[in-house]
């Protein structure tokens, strides 16, 4: 499954949360997936902050 935007990432993370609750996924794997998701979100945040500093409107496909 490919994740193309922030909404899809959030939906995927919610599905992982449900799998943790039901015991379908181990905590180590869930932790790594959460870590990766955080890095993806932070990279988009850096792009937004950079555009603001340059007085530009950010055009980030992931956030659309």
Q: Whose structure tokens read 């490919």?
A: 2
pLDDT per position as a tens digit, 4-60: 999 999 999 999 999 999 999 999 999 999 999 999 999 999 999 999 999 999 888
CA–CA gap between residue 28 and residue 46 (Å, rounded): 27
Q: How far is CA 47 from CA 28, 30, 58, in A?
A: 29, 26, 7
- Using CB atoms within 10 Å of the CB of residue 49, give its burial: 0 to 12 exposed, 13 to 18 middle, 19+ buried: exposed
CA–CA gap between residue 26 and residue 40 (Å, rounded): 22
pLDDT per position as a tens digit, 32-43: 999 999 999 999
């Amino acid at each position: 499954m490919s994740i193309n935007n922030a909404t899809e990432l959030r939906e995927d993370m919610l599905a992982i949360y449900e799998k943790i609750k039901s015991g379908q996924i181990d905590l180590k794997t869930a932790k790594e997936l959460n870590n990766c998701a955080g890095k993806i979100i932070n990279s988009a945040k850096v792009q937004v902050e950079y555009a603001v500093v340059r007085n530009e409107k950010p055009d980030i496909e992931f956030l659309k």
